[in-house]
Structure 1
């Protein structure tokens, strides 16, 4: 996790969502760089008490690169079930690891593949794949596959019939993987429903010896001997594997072990649990509940928010045991006047103030006394208060969202709901995400739903659940939810699961969702290209569909939408750059040039969008000097690739159109234009296939 820095806020969407001759702007909150949110505590691996600021999302599926593999297997310690799982994988080529979050199933899956299959290539599959799809997909020989956080549908249908079906499906998966010479490790938190399948071994997974994990990591980091033993002796109970790894890194860098361990395992939660175990007034409960969703708020604003929450919670925080009736002849006791809110907050052991510089003088805001308290406060609130209490919180948050909170409060509410989702995902999905996404709270609610999903996707333990939720929206009959799915798949969720996002966005385009899905595909491409992720996922899908539509003799709605989508992708600006995302991509990843050129050839030959395609191509050439050191060479590669994708007559038309450089809206640097046109006029190598659509097509 990196140092603090905020990304620019998203701009308003362009009115012309199909993008003909226009550049798209952004509606999604996406965190590729580090995000300053020290009280949010999101990140990979440690779902409860990571103490560093949240960092950007990386894809959760696809091929693991060498650095990722090395990081997963760094100082790896085999847990007790490792030998059993390795034997099952060697015998059957497929094994399932079943265990709770935080027990090291991900690293165990990669370690098993390295031990048994000795794979040099590792591919992580989407959790949004069922057994039937697994049994029908292709597996490459010698590749090790990992399917993380698979949802359990084994018992579908109930009874022994469901178990027999699951066993039959697992047998098909096993035979498919074995027959194609691959290996597959599946992880899940769910025990198989009914009778465990016999075809594939489901191994109960446990964490390795955490003391040994700590010692091994400290040893690798040059901190061994007595210091490592003392750190191990101070380790609290209840730690997760990733928490131990994070603590080891901090201790190796010189932090005091006793202070480090206060933020992990049972030590992290105990102060909050002790606070809730004491008798607490309704005001104190309202204080910590307000703070859980309004971190970093100034004193006056916080008091107003707390007062509003208390109004929504009226009656839900009263003592369960009524006060005794006064004795005969005694007067009714006079209720004590409520104390000053600010003084009450100052006495609250879970709350502290922090000075934040906004010029001179600074600004005092309310925060938790320790950043990790926030997660545990939400867990205690959820465990100790009824639906009536949470109904009041929902009413309060709905009113807050409708009031258009500023950026800081907006982020705090979103990250608070994402933290609540760790404990109560259904509550967040049913009471906030779904109603807001479908437009129940207006545009502000839609934007907040997008933002909450973005925060949820920063947590790898929650991201698969978010994928399942939004997939349901994409297939919903509700137009509002389908639009919300298009937005979600074009943001953090799409970056986390790019292949799934492209698949679902194309489903939405095909089903007539139109503008939101087209814009979503373009935004996803720009984000993947900007974050140096695999933007080729989008390019490959569009090349495949463009070839199919170019071969079609008649115009259809899907054909029109295909060309619109391709043009939107080629036109979209990179986040915050004002330059086409494709310009930076061809400069940074030359291997994508041929596919990009094929897409451009398709839209250039499609007469209804030809002028918009020419403008987009000119804009890209215009941007090349700003994105690379050798723009002429990059333009030459692009021109040569277009020469290979276009027939001779189209090359001549394109050269003529681009040659009129004077007076254009964005004139191209003469050296760049010369490099492009020289390569374009050079022609295609003999035998190079070109798109088959006639140049006179009006489709």
Structure 2
């Protein structure tokens, strides 16, 4: 049973409107480069241009170092405009609009790539006349939907709802549950559109209509986008006439952008739809030797590898492939069966492979040649053909080969290539990747590196719009598992890109892990998530609000408990965690870039400073933050003053005096806070509530920091 400490935070902490705390856009300046997102888990150069998900450059999958945008929360005006601009209604649009108007809830059912997301927003615009749109987490079930609050006049979207029937919860998808959801949404004056790839059960629910969704006319999508870009008439018709079959809506949008920029349509279309796959299908249609299959398999998971390293990897894979192919082929005519095998020249064989190309790269070292696919999109299609054409024996060999490779602790580039290759395979065979790689590795099947690798694969998977919800559901199950390895891997995954995509879900699951005794991995996961959100221009307030809520509860408890200790450990970890790349305290940059969050940061520090067992660690973290302010702020003294005012407002007078004395004693330290910064901070702390104090000469007074009630110092020092 979940203890009260694991309960949800108050309503204000359920941040469905992350844009509210974002400052208006500012012009670029020389400090912007200091806040570029860099994921520090990669050591050395990282070059991943081949990491494509098969829909062209505009929609290709970036390496994890590029970061990920949150997939839930409020859609801002720019996102809405990009979705609705040049929107073309499919034939099923009217049926869905009628269902939404009648029931206030409707479900769009269709395969990936058919435009369900844009269709959901367009339906809400058409029927609900909404100006505010909120995307809900795919991790929310029907029972939770029927109990949550909906704001009047808001349009809600639940993207990629998972199949709850498949998890054994058949009653959740019954007509009764859909009726409860419908009545809840209708009664609160909102509208909700749900999208899914799963067909409804038989008989389908009657309370909420499930509309079969199909893609709009792709030729019209192309023409509309080209017209909007100023390319119309004959050029648009020629481009539409050259469009290959099998394109997705996103592919057409990406191709339209390239054609509008002046690229030749015939060359552009070779990278999309059936045109991109045909050369790969033709290659596999011919009889291929185990060595040739080993070549493309190695390249699918080790693209961008140097020649000598690639040959070693291919050589280690070939025995697995040969065993999967059964008996060796008979020798060529005229060659005796007892003759030794001819020598293998893998480099010449690769040079003759039409799917493979050599590419020159330089990371400070001239003349470095690596093997890549001749066209980046080939990688996805090769994996699809390998999955379709080869048996479980073959894939068992690939699993054993990759497991041994991971256990040997590959370097950053090879790790990224293996992770992105498995993420591409997950588009075709998600269960294979989850059951044969992620779960065994998370449990230690590839040694200590296995858990790290499982998290990396999940981070790549969650960058794919079609797989993010599946990744969230998988890791949620790990977080609630009885297996400590899976729980630890869940904490690591939620502390990275998966948490950036679904921050509210990540905070909830990380706190569950902390409360259930997962300990340090979950604490570090929360801290790492905060650093990524703060540095990546996302809503770090989702972490701060949850911690303020829980710290307030623990500060009113005079008895020492494990949960209380873990709460303070988590707060200290968040206040101390370094920015990715620079290592400076993440809160230092946050209070400068997001002044509205200063009060919440101050509330956390106030709780730590009043709790005597961790006060010294809190002082160290505060001193480190003040030390870092000159490196991250335009006006370090002013930022220090804002933080001082907020912290002073959160502390009682006696604690302000103790804080000033403690920081003042640090004047002789080797690493000294700049005098102007320290003076601005302490003057602001002392001036809170004083007539003519710091508030009379500095910036206008801020709203008081959220109050964290605490027992007296004497009680804390004797009981804790």
Instruction: Tell me, in whole angstroms, the C-alpha distance in 1 between the residues paired with 2:242 and 2:643.
Output: 60
Counterpart for residue 21 of structure 1: none
User: Is the contact made by 1:491 and 1:527 (CA closer than 8 Å) also made in structure 2?
Assistant: yes
Instruction: Tell me, in whole angstroms, the C-alpha distance in 2 between the residues paired with 1:630 and 1:687.
Output: 22
CA deviation profile, 1:28-73 (whole Å, cap 9, x unmatched): 569xxx9741111149xx4999457554311111111111111222
Within the alignment, does 1:537 sit opposite 2:542 as a pair? yes
Counterpart for residue 226 of structure 1: 234
Instruction: Tell me, in whole angstroms, the C-alpha distance in 2 between the residues paired with 1:205 and 1:48.
Output: 26
Q: Deviation of residue 340 (structure 1)? A: 2.5
Instruction: Tell me, in whole angstroms, the C-alpha distance in 1 between the residues paired with 2:408 and 2:520.
Output: 28
What SS does the aligned partner of 2:713 have?
coil
Counterpart for residue 468 of structure 1: 473
User: Is the contact made by 2:399 and 2:436 (CA closer than 8 Å) also made in structure 1?
Assistant: yes
Instruction: Tell me, in whole angstroms, the C-alpha distance in 2 between the residues paired with 1:360 and 1:423.
Output: 37
Counterpart for residue 530 of structure 2: 525
What SS does the aligned partner of 1:643 have?
helix
Counterpart for residue 453 of structure 2: 448
Within the alignment, does 1:151 sit opposite 2:162 as a pair? yes
What SS does the aligned partner of 1:337 have?
coil
CA deviation profile, 1:657-689 (whole Å, cap 9, x unmatched): 223341135322222222222221222599987
Change (3 A) 1:49 1:236: farther
Q: Which runs of 5+ in 2 are unaligned?
A: 1-34, 690-700
Counterpart for residue 709 of structure 2: 692
State which of 232, 253, 260 in structure 1 corresponds to 2:261: 253
Instruction: Tell me, in whole angstroms, the C-alpha distance in 1 between the residues paired with 2:173 and 2:255.
Output: 44
Within the alignment, does 1:172 sit opposite 2:180 as a pair? yes
State which of 121, 141, 144 in structure 2 corresponds to 1:110: 121
CA deviation profile, 1:604-648 (whole Å, cap 9, x unmatched): 100000011111111111211111112222112111111221122
Counterpart for residue 502 of structure 1: 507
Within the alignment, does 1:489 sit opposite 2:494 as a pair? yes
Within the alignment, does 1:281 sit opposite 2:289 as a pair? yes
Change (3 A) 1:409 1:171: same
Change (3 A) 1:626 1:527: same
Change (3 A) 1:656 1:165: same
Change (3 A) 1:391 1:154: closer
User: Is the contact made by 1:163 and 1:195 (CA closer than 8 Å) also made in structure 2?
Assistant: no
State which of 377, 394, 398 in structure 2 corresponds to 1:372: 377
* Number of positions where the alignment pairs a residue of Structure 1 with one of Structure 2: 669
Larger deviation: 507-516 or 402-411?
Answer: 402-411
Counterpart for residue 649 of structure 1: 654
Instruction: Tell me, in whole angstroms, the C-alpha distance in 2 between the residues paired with 1:689 and 1:400.
Output: 50
What SS does the aligned partner of 1:96 have?
strand
What SS does the aligned partner of 1:314 have?
helix
Change (3 A) 1:47 1:477: farther
CA RMSD in angstroms comes to 2.8
What SS does the aligned partner of 1:185 have?
strand
Instruction: Tell me, in whole angstroms, the C-alpha distance in 2 between the residues paired with 1:667 and 1:350.
Output: 59
Counterpart for residue 73 of structure 1: 84
Q: Which runs of 5+ in 1 are unaligned?
A: 11-27
Within the alignment, does 1:214 sit opposite 2:232 as a pair? no
Instruction: Tell me, in whole angstroms, the C-alpha distance in 1 between the residues paired with 2:630 and 2:533.
Output: 21
Counterpart for residue 643 of structure 2: 638
Counterpart for residue 6 of structure 2: none
User: Is the contact made by 2:48 and 2:304 (CA closer than 8 Å) also made in structure 1?
Assistant: no
Counting only pairs closer than 5 Å after superposition, residues 88-167 of structure 1 correspond to structure 2 as: 88-154=99-165, 162=170, 166-167=174-175
Within the alignment, does 1:272 sit opposite 2:277 as a pair? no
Change (3 A) 1:413 1:286: same
Within the alignment, does 1:458 sit opposite 2:476 as a pair? no
Change (3 A) 1:191 1:113: same
Instruction: Tell me, in whole angstroms, the C-alpha distance in 1 between the residues paired with 2:238 and 2:332.
Output: 58
Counting only pairs closer than 5 Å after superposition, residues 300-339 of structure 1 correspond to structure 2 as: 300-318=308-326, 337=342
Instruction: Tell me, in whole angstroms, the C-alpha distance in 1 between the residues paired with 2:635 and 2:606.
Output: 24
Counterpart for residue 56 of structure 1: 67
Instruction: Tell me, in whole angstroms, the C-alpha distance in 2 between the residues paired with 1:224 and 1:29.
Output: 45
Within the alignment, does 1:551 sit opposite 2:556 as a pair? yes
CA deviation profile, 1:372-404 (whole Å, cap 9, x unmatched): 001000000000000100111111112222222
Within the alignment, does 1:291 sit opposite 2:299 as a pair? yes
Q: Deviation of residue 343 (structure 1)? A: 2.0
Instruction: Tell me, in whole angstroms, the C-alpha distance in 2 between the residues paired with 1:78 and 1:146.
Output: 18
What SS does the aligned partner of 1:662 have?
helix
CA deviation profile, 1:156-208 (whole Å, cap 9, x unmatched): 769xxx47962111111111111111111110000112211111111111111
User: Is the contact made by 1:38 and 1:52 (CA closer than 8 Å) also made in structure 2?
Assistant: no
CA deviation profile, 1:568-590 (whole Å, cap 9, x unmatched): 11111111212110011111001
Instruction: Tell me, in whole angstroms, the C-alpha distance in 2 between the residues paired with 1:334 and 1:288.
Output: 28
Instruction: Tell me, in whole angstroms, the C-alpha distance in 1 between the residues paired with 2:265 and 2:341.
Output: 46
Change (3 A) 1:434 1:246: same
Instruction: Tell me, in whole angstroms, the C-alpha distance in 2 between the residues paired with 1:61 and 1:675.
Output: 39
**TM score, norm. by length of structure 2:** 0.88
**TM score, norm. by length of structure 1:** 0.91
Instruction: Tell me, in whole angstroms, the C-alpha distance in 2 between the residues paired with 1:425 and 1:207.
Output: 24
Change (3 A) 1:674 1:348: same
Q: Deviation of residue 345 (structure 1)? A: 1.6
Change (3 A) 1:663 1:130: same
CA deviation profile, 1:227-248 (whole Å, cap 9, x unmatched): 1111100000000000000001
Instruction: Tell me, in whole angstroms, the C-alpha distance in 1 between the residues paired with 2:360 and 2:151.
Output: 56
Instruction: Tell me, in whole angstroms, the C-alpha distance in 1 between the residues paired with 2:36 and 2:304.
Output: 15
Larger deviation: 47-56 or 265-274?
Answer: 47-56
Q: Deviation of residue 692 (structure 1)? A: 2.1
State which of 424, 433, 436 in structure 2 corresponds to 1:428: 433
Q: Deviation of residue 361 (structure 1)? A: 3.7
Structure with the largest fraction of helix: 2
User: Is the contact made by 1:93 and 1:174 (CA closer than 8 Å) also made in structure 2?
Assistant: yes
What SS does the aligned partner of 1:534 have?
coil
Change (3 A) 1:104 1:642: same
